Amino acid sequence: MFSLAAPLLCVLTLAYQVLGISWGLILDSASTDGNVWIELVYTIHVPQGPPATVTTGPWFFWCGLQPQGGGVVQPVLQWGEATPDGYVNNNAPFPHIWAMVLWDVPADNFNNNTSRISQGVWAAQGDQISNTASFGNGAWTQSAQVISGQATGASTSTSITANQYFHDDAAHDGNANFFVCESELDGSQTNQWNFPVLFTDIFIRAKASTGVEALCASAQPFSDGNGFANMTGFSMFDANTCHFASLILTPP
């Protein structure tokens, strides 16, 4: 299935309105000896649902890694977008508003322009979901597991062959120099977004240490007119890995 509503970075010319606050950390190839991100770990706290007056979406909240040349590897918390393969916990006894879904959106002309979309995990407001995306042995592997709250224990995972979805590079290292977190709101009622979304325990691991600490240390809370992105608690977990204690995305 090729979905026009796939959660893409806002670098394409889209036929519909997308509102979002986007926080990125880009390892510059030239000044970092071609360093790339190879692993992302983060926990997302399931927010309240969109206001009852909102009937058009979908709305996505996510962090992901983007290979050079396009496409994205992204665990996504989503509302208003069905998953083709259904949900691991379809009988979950709470309102089915938010689902965690693992997306691999290919670069143009890769994998027949078709995203890999995992089974979804329904999660309730206040639940915490731990997510990973990592590159190794030519594959991107993602997982999502609810670690607290009403859906605790529910999980999903997916793995793809990287060069089937994304441009490869000479080092065959996943080629992902772009880390990004976004609110990505589609539809005609994006101005009704009225709740914060909290991410915690964010770890971003690079292949090598070159340029990593300086890049992550430069991150500052900001607004781009479409919302606020406030990150706190930066430290180096190890020489290759940045840690942020939290990130809050809030409406403008």
Ligand X SMILES: *[C@@H]1O[C@H](CO)[C@@H](O)[C@H](O)[C@H]1NC(C)=O
DSSP state of 120: B
| From candidates 228, 234, 243, 246, binder to ligand X by CB under 6 A | 228
Please, which residue, 77 or 229, has the CB nearer to ligand X? Answer: 229
| From candidates 159, 200, 246, 250, binder to ligand X by CB under 6 A | 250
Answer yes or no whether residue 230 interacts with ligand X by CB under 6 A.
Answer: yes
Beta strands in 106-175 (DSSP E): 116-117, 121-123, 128-136, 139-148, 155-161
Q: How far is CA 199 from the centre of its chain?
A: 11
> Is the Cβ–Cβ distance between 165 and 106 less than 8 Å?
yes
Tell me if residue 214 falls in helix, strand or coil: helix
Please, which residue, 89 or 111, has the CB nearer to ligand X? Answer: 111
Answer yes or no whether residue 148 interacts with ligand X by CB under 6 A.
Answer: no
Answer yes or no whether residue 112 interacts with ligand X by CB under 6 A.
Answer: yes
What mask, x for binding ligand X by CB under 6 A, covers residues 186 to 225? ----------x------------------------x----
Bridge partners, 41 (sequence order)? 132, 203
Question: In 3D, which of 230, 248, 228 has the Cα closest to residue 21?
Answer: 228
CB of 108 vs ligand X, minimal distance in Å: 5
Binding site for ligand X (CB under 6 A): 108-109, 112-113, 196, 221, 228, 230, 248, 250
